[in-house]
Amino acid sequence: MKIAVVGVTGLVGSVILKVLEEYNMTDCTLLPVASERSIGKNIVFNNRSYSVLSIKEALEAKPSIAIFSAGSNVSLSYAPLFAEKGTFVIDNSSAWRMKADIPLIVPEINASLLKSSNKIIANPNCSTIQLVMVLHPLHQLFTIKRVVVSTYQSVTGTGVLAVEQLMCERRQMKCQQVYPHPIDLNVLPHGGNFEENGYTSEEMKLVNETRKILSDNSIELTSTVVRVPVKGGHSESVNIEFEEYFNLTDIYSALEKTPGICIIDNPYENQYPMPLYAEGKNEVFVGRVRRDFSRENSLNLWIVADNLRKGAATNAVQIARYLIEKKWIK
């Protein structure tokens, strides 16, 4: 079995290799793909050295699975070409997410929607994944009416140049500026591009992708995306209004039973999820669970996850593993 990783030298690409090893998906031939400036460089996977290929070389090799993490333009240009050759494409960009005929998958929630004919599969936005991991079990129990979410997003979600900007500013060095303002010792209420409705593209991803994954367009959802000077992961402050009354014990029980969720919620001992400790982990961490006394049938909670892992690489590898388990890979 051949697995291509497109964008292998990027932040997400490098984590994909780690997760493939951790999931024991090493019985394969790796096709590492990157931009022209990286062709010929060596990548180590499963204690073996591989040379970086061009995307056209990988296409000619006809991989069974191709995990794309190289941006929307690359995905729009090449994902259909790989699909035509029978390759399952798992795409981390926003290119295919809202296409009606393309499944948008979080395996713990809706992997059952996949069919062997789905050659292009969309990986959701990083902030969306950790949000729906929590919303899904609660929606099944109490029916969600409205969600208000504010995200506090790591610079790693922007990319390696954003990480470099943060670290350069911290050291008081000059470097390329990715953000329109300093990010160190600052927060930016700005993620993606501003749209005509006043929201950013990142904020609208949270709205639209959540509804698609939960298969419910009736959910009212509003969001604010904030970029913060951290590297470990994304955090979310979430307010949920349900259609019916709930007990907190039922909330905890539903979350505890959900694979991939870890509850850390003992605030009196200063125990709650933080990106510093979520970094490098695949779980979605939940804490500060409490009733909203200002609004009927409403709940507040705090969600943290490593955006490079469950928010991108881990979710993609989980999809790949599902395809293999279904024996759709020839």
Say which of 28, 136, 234, 262 is annotated catalytic.
234
Q: Is 126 labeled as catalytic in the residue annotation?
A: yes
CA distance 84 to 105: 21
- Residue 112 Cα to chain centre, angstroms: 19
Cite the DSSP H helix spans in the chain. Answer: 11-22, 55-60, 72-84, 107-110, 126-142, 160-170, 201-214, 248-256, 275-278, 314-325
Say which of 28, 126, 136, 139 is annotated catalytic.
126
Structure tokens at 215: 């298969």
Q: Which residues of 267-298 are buried (b: 16+ CB within 10 A; e: fewer)?
A: eeeeebbbbeebbebbbbbbbebeeeeeeebb
CA distance 136 to 123: 17
Q: Is 199 helix (H, G, I), strand (E, B) or coil?
A: coil
Q: Which residues are catalytic?
A: 126, 234
